[in-house]
Structure formats: structure tokens, C-alpha cells
Structure 1
Amino acid sequence: MNYVDLDSYNRKWIFTHASMPVAETDLALIKPFTQARASQIWREHVSSQSSDADHFGVGDWAFDDKIWSEPQDWQLAWDGDEPELPEAILNFIDWEDNTTVFFCYEKYNVIETKWSVFKRNWKNFLFFDDGPILLGRKKTQAIWFSSDGQFKLANRP
């Protein structure tokens, strides 16, 4: 079994919070991985040596400052009334809506969903903004969100 039932997920409330409830059809496509599978995804796609974004080091592709764009603001869009992701993200990502994405909070906490679901519910995912990275399966683009309300874009190696 690769997934934890969403009802058992320790951060389920971010998707069922009364102020920003997620549609049932989208909830069905938000799939937290088990710790073992999350760790495997993290090792394969993010880092084989660091457990979270605060500890990236030499040898981690995300540690290379040269691949990342200048930081841009996501907090204003998150606080705003409009549901769309910041325009810079939408201009950078050219994924089909059915692209499988991994929202990587840290080594043992990774969620799989579809790009369309993430786009509609990105504010929920960012209730926890302690350095998560969004990756598309078999895609090179990455988005790194930071807790200071900024994000950076990159094409990973």
C-alpha cells in the first residue's frame, strides 16, 4: 500500500477547514503517501541526503542557487480573494491538467495529486509553508515555496 487514507492523514484539516473546504471530487484525488513511499519519492526526486528543505546541501539539485529564479511573492495571492495561483507560476508551468504532481513537504510527508487539483486548491496545500517543493512526475519544472511568502522556480536536472 502506497497511500494513507485521507481520513487518517495528520494534516487532513488543511483540506477540510471550514474557511476553505475542498470539493469531494478533489479530496478523492489528494493522496498522502505512506512514510515509506514518501521517503522513496523524496530520495528519488528531491534529495538522497537531506530530510527537508532547510537541510539541503552540496549534492542536492535544489541546493544549486543558479537553477532557481529570483524569489517572487505567493503570499499576496494566497491572502487575496481570487483562487488562481500567481501568474508567474502559471506562465512557467506548462503541464496538462491530468499531470501527476508530488507536493513534497519533507522526506516523510509527500502528497500525490493532479495538477488541476493542485491549481484549484493550492491555498490549502500552503497552510503548511515550511519549504515544500512541487514537482510534476516526469517533468523538470519545480516550484519551491518558502514560509516568508516567496516562491522560486527551476528546471531541475
Structure 2
Amino acid sequence: MNYVELDKYSRKWIFTHASMPVAAADLEEIKPFTQARSSQIWSEHISKHSPDADHFEKGDWASNEKIWSEDTDWQTEWDSDDATLPNGVLEFIDWEDNTTVFFCYEKYNVIETKWGVFKRNWKNFLFFDDGPMLIGRKKKQVLWFNSNGTFKSAHRE
């Protein structure tokens, strides 16, 4: 079993919070991985050495500052009543809505969903903004969200 039932997921409330409820059809597409599967995804796609984005080491592709864009604000859009993704995201990512994506909070906490579900509910995912990364299956583009209200984009190696 690769997934944890959403009802048993420790951060379920970010998707069921009264102020920003997620549609039932989208909830079905939000699939937290078990810690073991999260660790595997993290190791394969993010880092073999570092447990979270605060501790990338030499040899981790994400530690290469040259690949990252300038910081772009996401906090302003998050605070607004508009559900649209922050400026710059859709210019950088042009995936189809059914593209499988992984929202990687840290080594033991990764969620699988579809790009369309993430686009509609990105604010929920960012209730925890301590350095999560969004990657697409078989895609090179990556977004790295920072707790200072900005994100960076890059093409991962």
C-alpha cells in the first residue's frame, strides 16, 4: 500500500478547513503517500541526502543556486479572494490538468495529485509553506515555495 487514507492523514484539515473547503471530487484525487513511499519519491526526485528543503547538500540538484529563478511573490495571491495561481506559475508550467504531480513537504510527507487539482486548491497545499516543492511525474519543471511568501522555479536535473 502506497497511500494513507486522507481521513487518517495528519494534515487532513488543510483540505477540509471551513474557510477553504476542497470539493469532494478533488479530495478523492489528493493522495498522501505512506512515509516509506514518500521517502522513496523524495530520494528519487528531490534528494538522496537531505530530509527537507532547509538542508540540501552539495550533490543535491536543488542546492545549485544557478538553476533557480528569482523569487516571485505567492503570498499576495494567497491572501486575496482570487483562487488563481500566483503570477509566473502558469507561464512556467503548461502541463495538462491530468498530469500527475507530487507535492513534497519533506522526505516523509509527499502528496500525489493531478495538476488540475493542485491549480484549483493550491492555497490549501500552502497552509504549510516550510519549503515544499512541486514536481510533475516525468517533468523537469519544479516549483519551490518558501515560507517568506515567495517561490522559485527551475528545471531539475
Give TM-score scaled by structure 2 length.
Answer: 0.99
Structure 1 residue aligned with 2:140: 140
Aligned residues: 157
CA RMSD of aligned residues (A): 0.4
Structure 1 residue aligned with 2:131: 131
Residues of 1 paired with 2:26 and 2:35: CA distance?
Answer: 22
Residues of 2 paired with 1:60 and 1:80: CA distance?
Answer: 35
Structure 2 residue aligned with 1:112: 112
Residues of 2 paired with 1:86 and 1:53: CA distance?
Answer: 21
Letter of the structure 2 residue corresponding to residue 98 of structure 1? N
TM-superposition CA deviations, 1:80-99 (whole Å, max 9, x none)? 11001012001100101000
What are the equivalent positions in structure 2 for 1:8-157 lying under 5 Å apart? 8-157=8-157
Residues of 2 paired with 1:40 and 1:94: CA distance?
Answer: 26
Give TM-score scaled by structure 1 length.
Answer: 0.99
TM-superposition CA deviations, 1:108-133 (whole Å, max 9, x none)? 00000000000000000000000000
1:154 match: secondary structure? strand
Residues of 2 paired with 1:90 and 1:82: CA distance?
Answer: 15
Residues of 1 paired with 2:11 and 2:86: CA distance?
Answer: 24
Structure 2 residue runs without a partner (length 5+): none
